[in-house]
């Protein structure tokens, strides 16, 4: 009778969820190896399942998968980071465009409650603040009830989490909280243009606060450091890195 009892959720989905959280909370740092055996054993599942989960995570861009090689947590390049934020800005502008003036009292309350939770976590570790801030944005996306928007915003937000974890110095996410509050106010008031601009500048600010250009290219991988030297040897003054990051 009661089909309310949703069939037990995929084992693979559980592993995905766990890995996602671990990655965005930086428990698993970029580059960390993720062997299928180990994962399966850890979650009481077989390699087949772990493999499937890794495939999904790879499709989300959270892990890198190369044939015959152990999967690793993705290590976004700095340029990818910038591009990712550019995309995120446009996606989230769409979100607030749809939501402005359309939220009922309950939804507004839920948003405010979430921001309060963010405030409550201010003392704690950075990774938790980052996760909560990210979840605020996902919460917004979910209110559009647009499956595609929800999927894309969630995915790219998680990716941004990974990016922040990778590149940001110990930063204060305090400002984010007040910016979130401003967003809610503008949403409630239904001022479309204002809320789109607020979102735009909020995300730009997050990116700028966190994404310090790596002067010394972030130790980790030797090949990355050597990459520029693999080029045939630039003729023009070496600095100009192929335009990108347009107007800003």
Q: Which residues bind DNA (CB under 7 A)?
A: 7, 10-12, 34-38, 40, 44-49, 51, 67-71
* CB 63 within 8 Å of CB 73: yes
Sign of the C-alpha dihedral computed for residues 59, 62, 68 and 70 taken in this order: negative
Q: Which of residues 113-172 bind a copy of itself (CB under 8 A)?
A: 145-149, 151-152, 159
Minimum distance of DNA from residue 211's CB (angstroms): 30
Residue of 25, 32, 47, 55 interacting with a copy of itself (CB under 8 A): 55
Token digits of residue 162: 């990974």
Half-sphere exposure of 156 (CA within 13 A, CB side): 22
Question: Residue 10 or residue 194: which is nearer to a copy of itself going by CB?
Answer: 10
Minimum distance of a copy of itself from residue 49's CB (angstroms): 11
Minimum distance of a copy of itself from residue 62's CB (angstroms): 12
47: exposed, middle or buried (Cβ count in 10 Å: 0-12, 13-18, 19+): middle
C-alpha distances in angstroms, 88 versus 18, 21, 91, 115, 133? 24, 20, 5, 20, 14
Residue of 25, 86, 135, 142 interacting with a copy of itself (CB under 8 A): 86
Question: Residue 23 or residue 149: which is nearer to a copy of itself going by CB?
Answer: 149
Minimum distance of DNA from residue 15's CB (angstroms): 10
Phi, psi of 124 (to 5 degrees): -65, -170
Partner that binds at residue 46, options a copy of itself, DNA, none, CB closer than 5 to 8 Å by kind:
DNA
Minimum distance of DNA from residue 64's CB (angstroms): 12
Partner that binds at residue 11, options a copy of itself, DNA, none, CB closer than 5 to 8 Å by kind:
DNA
Rg (CA), the chain: 20
Minimum distance of a copy of itself from residue 159's CB (angstroms): 8
Report the interface residues with a copy of itself, using CB under 8 A. 7, 10, 48, 51-52, 55-56, 59-61, 67-68, 79-80, 83-84, 86-87, 90-91, 93-94, 97-98, 102, 145-149, 151-152, 159, 192, 242-244, 246
């Amino acid at each position: 009778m009661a089909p309310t009892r949703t069939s037990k959720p995929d084992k693979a989905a559980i592993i995905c969820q766990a890995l996602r959280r671990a990655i965005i909370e930086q428990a698993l740092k970029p580059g960390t190896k993720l062997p299928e055996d180990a994962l399966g054993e850890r979650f009481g599942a077989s390699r087949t399942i772990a493999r499937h989960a890794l495939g999904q995570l790879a499709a989300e861009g959270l892990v890198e998968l190369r044939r015959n090689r152990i999967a690793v947590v993705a290590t976004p390049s700095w340029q990818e980071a910038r591009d990712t934020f550019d995309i995120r800005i446009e996606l989230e502008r769409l979100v607030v465009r749809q939501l402005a003036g359309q939220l009922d009292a309950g939804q507004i309350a839920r948003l405010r409650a979430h921001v309060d939770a963010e405030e409550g976590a201010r003392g704690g570790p950075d990774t938790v603040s980052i996760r909560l801030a990210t979840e605020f944005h996902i919460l917004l996306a979910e209110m559009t009830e647009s499956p595609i928007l929800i999927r894309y915003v969630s995915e790219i937000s998680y990716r941004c989490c990974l990016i922040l974890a990778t590149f940001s110095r110990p930063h204060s996410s305090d400002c984010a909280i007040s910016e979130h509050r401003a967003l809610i106010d503008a949403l409630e008031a239904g001022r479309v243009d204002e809320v789109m601009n607020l979102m735009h500048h909020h995300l730009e600010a997050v990116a700028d606060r966190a994404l310090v250009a790596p002067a010394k290219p972030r130790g980790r991988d030797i090949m990355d450091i050597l990459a520029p030297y693999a080029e045939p040897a630039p003729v023009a003054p070496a600095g100009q890195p192929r335009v990108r990051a347009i107007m800003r």
